[in-house]
Structure 1
């Protein structure tokens, strides 16, 4: 019993050191920090208007079709799994109000769906890193909205693979089409785009 406890402490020591470092940097350095199996991810650019407008529109559209006790939450805190050494912050979390109660980070296994608006400066974090991390954390649905291209995808059906849990099903969509996230379908019309393609 003592050996297992010591091993667990050794395994989480690097994660705790990274967590402490993030807390020290959070107010001093712009951008968003997350922790993955590979270490700290820093998206140096703070989210701009198209990113935040997309998150807000997706959240509002979901909440119009979901029961009152399910929220499409766009704020803090993060989702955290200390044993796996992962700290993530979805742009939108579909979660029951009752699972938001208490202190500290959300348990990722209570998140019904994680939704990301793909970062213009670090798209690999959303399309690669989080595609790997969210099934490992037990998040059953991961939806991506990509304002770079006006496209997105919904990933579902976690299954085991030699590389760890992965999503088995990917449903792609174009902006303008309806998209189903978990049990709820919303429109993707009039979502903003980045750069020269940006809608006015």
Structure 2
């Protein structure tokens, strides 16, 4: 399907998510600024990666393509999808067309995949949240800690703190 239909595909517990929308300039600028800010404070050997491949768990039947991943360079070696357990963090910039994919579905899927930190930046509202500390629940693994922020404040993703000053908003 990737070769014949536009957009990107992800596989969740509920089925396939097909995002037809091409990323817009505020979305891409947010990704770029977060990536650059993280890489300025991270030690050598780590990267805030904004490209492919996806993050996949065969046993869980989930394949996601985060907007940005924080990962050790050594864990990027090899072929195929990234192992989600090798990620330090997944970062999403909320899409204007499908915010529930980031605020609901990925909030459920990322702890299930074992991604220890999930940061959400929402250009619709100029707010976000960083979720961490996976714990078991009757509905499956969930994040126990949520730290909300507004654009302009500093935010900590993994071990690194960056500014959210000047991140673009959707018009």
TM-score, normalization by structure 2: 0.99
Which structure is higher in strand share?
A: 2
The one-character-per-residue Cα deviations of 1:57-91 (angstroms, maximum 9, x if unpaired) are: 00000000001101000000000001110000111
Residue by residue over 1:103-139, the C-alpha shift from the partner in whole angstroms, topping out at 9 and shown as x without a partner, is: 0000000000000000110000000000000000000
Structure 1: which 4+ aligned runs deviate by more than 6 Å?
Answer: none
Q: Indicate the SS of the match to 2:147.
A: strand
Structure 1 partner of 2:38? 62
| Separation of aligned partners in 2, 1:72 and 1:112 | 10
Q: CA deviation at 1:27?
A: 2.7
Deviation at 1:29, TM superposition (A): 1.7
Mark the runs of 5 or more structure 2 residues left unpaired by the alignment: none
1:168 corresponds in structure 2 to: 144
Q: Which residue of 2 aligns with 1:92?
A: 68
Match of 1:129 in 2: 105
The aligned length equals 171
Unaligned 5+ segments in structure 1 are: 1-24, 196-200
Matches within 5 A, 1:1-200: 25-195=1-171
TM-score under structure 1 normalisation? 0.84
Question: What do you get for the CA RMSD once the two structures are aligned?
Answer: 0.6
3-state SS, counterpart of residue 148 of structure 2:
strand
How far did 1:187 drift?
Answer: 0.3
| Match in the other structure for 1:21 | none
Greater RCO (CA < 8 Å, at least 6 residues apart)? 2
What is the deviation of 1:44? 1.6
